[in-house]
Amino acid sequence: MNTNKNVQFHPLISSIQKVVLYETKSRLYLVGSNNRETRFKLLTISRVSSDDSELKVYEYPNEYSNKDIRQIIGNIGNAKVTITKRTKVAFIGNHPIYTIKDTVMIKVNQPLPSGKNPHPFEQRYVKMFQNIDLKSNFYFSYSYDLTRTLQHNLSAPRYVNPDPSNIDIEKEEPFPDFTGSGDFAYRINSRKRFVWNDFLLKPMKNIVLKDWLLEITHGYLSQSCMNIFGRPVYILLMARRSSRFAGTRFLKRGANFHGDVANEVETEQIVQDGSRLCSFTQMRGSIPSHWSQDISKMVPKPPIGVDISDPFSQTPAKHFERLLFHFGSPVIVFNLVKMRERRKHESILTKEIKTSIKYLNQFLPPQHKIKYVHFDMARKIGFFSIDKNEALQFQNGIIRTNCVDCLDRTNTAQFSIAKYALGFQLYHLGFLHSPKLVFDSECVNLLESLFEDHGDTLALQYGGSQLVHRIKTYRKTAAWASQGNDIMQTLSRYYSNTFSDTEKQHAINLFLGYYIPHKNIKNN
């Protein structure tokens, strides 16, 4: 990692920040520009093809001025203009973050008339694809990598890779130190785990420059402002949902053979005071073993079963290896699953994760062992802090929280951890004399509100309803009226899991490219 303070690195994501689409019968014209609309690039896609699956794209190598592009567009004639709607939801430093507000699906290829009818399943798959509501909790930025933490984005590159399309722990090499001074730009490589349209961009990756490809993330993002001694201090809460092993509550449990777990979400809180920023990252995810619940019977708590025995903990090993690589040690497992029950249910999972961690720790050095204890977590792993481009402190390690569903209990636990971390962040920035925050203070109420919204959003995405048990429920301060709401959310979640999860899972698989329909060549 480069330690020379005279060397500044500037990550490149996209120079194209506005795209306008012009449509004719034979071509689609995409005009991309910078934010001030002073520099333009042009891309055309042919709509005339004998093969529906063939994509004919041409990117003009020249850069155009406003006058040039107006002349080109003027020659197109009558055309339909489609502009994607976006809304600015937050700032990280000087980087604006947007959420998608409107999308339009336009058929690219117009097949030559041959008397053939469209495939009977085409409309079915189009409708299924459109079940993914891109206007709901999808985010992007032209200048900031939302797939990575603030600490990673504001630090100098740590690794170089000869093939940026194939990130491999074993092949990456340490980034060399620089002895001189200067500014360097480098093309960032996002974490594809958190890119939800990666499959949709694949046909274009080897055809056009990366500037045309806008990656989107899914999860939750909100920013609030509080006033401390007359100074505006911003708190941003961002959740990155993994696209690996993604899906609905009862259809995606445990982990796959690559160590990707269900309902995996990284949650990052960023406190910003002018040029000073502090961030703290934690995560949630299903217990990393091969388990499921039998939902064929109409029972409130479907029985939990371990589907595949993993005596050498190969699946948990892949999962924790990834966490150690990305976050360092310690990896702290905060398990909220019940341990003692009259009839074994959740405790089956507790036994699974404890056995796996005990086995894996045999092969790890003492300083890198996976932690499965309760202790002063915020002091142990720290948080990231930067002031005027100079990093003052780094976070090492990650807290990984789970219950059975990684929803209600997990969200309350993550709020408690975040409250503790926020105290240290505000103390570090000089706003507090001690890192202790009391409940019902303005900043804690603001954080609680963010986490309630955060929990509701993630619960809707995975469980089909808002939180059943809220933070106030676990604090035992909830009003009687909220108990009725808890019952309604329980019924809503049960209905969603029973009747609509399968359709939703099919849509997710289609959108992410885990299921690719192929045309039956025998069908006329």
Task: Give the global pTM.
Answer: 0.86
Predicted confidence (pLDDT) at residue 203 exceeds the cutoff of 90: no
> Which range has the worst mean pLDDT, 270-279, 380-389, 475-484?
475-484
Is-contact 283 191, C-beta < 8 A?
no
Q: If pLDDT is split at 50, 70 and 90, which confidence band does 113 have?
A: low
Predicted confidence (pLDDT) at residue 490 exceeds the cutoff of 80: no
Supply the range of the domain harboring residue 366.
198-512
Amino acid at 203: P
Strand residues in 247-297 grouped as ranges (E): 265-273, 276-284, 291-293
Which residues, 6+ apart, have CB-to-CB distance to 153 below 8 Å? Answer: 11, 144, 145
User: From residue 127, how far is each of 121, 230, 250, 504, 510 by CA, in Å?
Assistant: 10, 51, 23, 12, 11
- Of 21-30, 73-82, 356-365, 374-383, the range with the highest mean pLDDT is 356-365
pLDDT computed for residue 414 by the predictor: 96
CA 275 to chain centre: 25
Give the tokens for residue 333: 């497992």
pLDDT computed for residue 177 by the predictor: 54
Q: Which of 276, 193, 199, 287 is nearest to 231 (CA)?
A: 276
Residue 222 lies in a domain: yes
Q: What is the mean pLDDT of residues 473-477?
A: 66
Q: What is the mean pLDDT of residues 206-227?
A: 92
Residue 67 lies in a domain: no
Predicted confidence (pLDDT) at residue 521 exceeds the cutoff of 50: no
- pLDDT tens for each residue of 125-161: 888 888 888 889 999 999 899 999 999 998 877 655 5
pLDDT computed for residue 32 by the predictor: 92
Predicted confidence (pLDDT) at residue 481 exceeds the cutoff of 50: no
Q: What's the CA gap between 148 and 293, in Å, rounded?
A: 32
Helix 314-327 × helix 347-360 angle, to 10°: 70
Residue 346 lies in a domain: yes
pLDDT computed for residue 392 by the predictor: 76
Q: If pLDDT is split at 50, 70 and 90, which confidence band does 8 have?
A: low
pLDDT computed for residue 444 by the predictor: 94
> Which range has the worst mean pLDDT, 235-239, 267-271, 471-475?
471-475
pLDDT computed for residue 522 by the predictor: 47
Partners of residue 411 on adjacent β-strands: none
Number of domains in the chain: 1
Q: What is the mean pLDDT of residues 346-367?
A: 94
Predicted confidence (pLDDT) at residue 403 exceeds the cutoff of 50: yes
Q: If pLDDT is split at 50, 70 and 90, which confidence band does 333 have?
A: very high
Helix 122-129 × helix 501-512 angle, to 10°: 100
pLDDT computed for residue 480 by the predictor: 47
Q: Which residue has the higher pLDDT, 9 or 266?
A: 266
Q: Which residue has the higher pLDDT, 123 or 474?
A: 123
pLDDT computed for residue 72 by the predictor: 79
- pLDDT tens for each residue of 437-460: 988 889 999 999 999 999 999 999
Q: Which of 294, 313, 418 is nearest to 361 (CA)?
A: 313
CA angle, 476 then 478 then 483, to 5°:
110
Q: If pLDDT is split at 50, 70 and 90, which confidence band does 523 have?
A: very low
pLDDT computed for residue 166 by the predictor: 54
Residue 120 lies in a domain: no
- Of 80-84, 176-180, 266-270, 302-306, the range with the highest mean pLDDT is 266-270
Residue 249 lies in a domain: yes
pLDDT computed for residue 76 by the predictor: 64
Is-contact 53 37, C-beta < 8 A?
no
Average pLDDT, the chain: 83
Residue 122 lies in a domain: no
CA angle, 406 then 321 then 262, to 5°:
25
Is-contact 455 411, C-beta < 8 A?
yes
Q: Is the dihedral of CA 291, 316, 246, 163 positive or negative?
A: negative
Residue 247 lies in a domain: yes
pLDDT computed for residue 270 by the predictor: 98
Q: Which residue has the higher pLDDT, 172 or 380?
A: 380
Residue 415 lies in a domain: yes
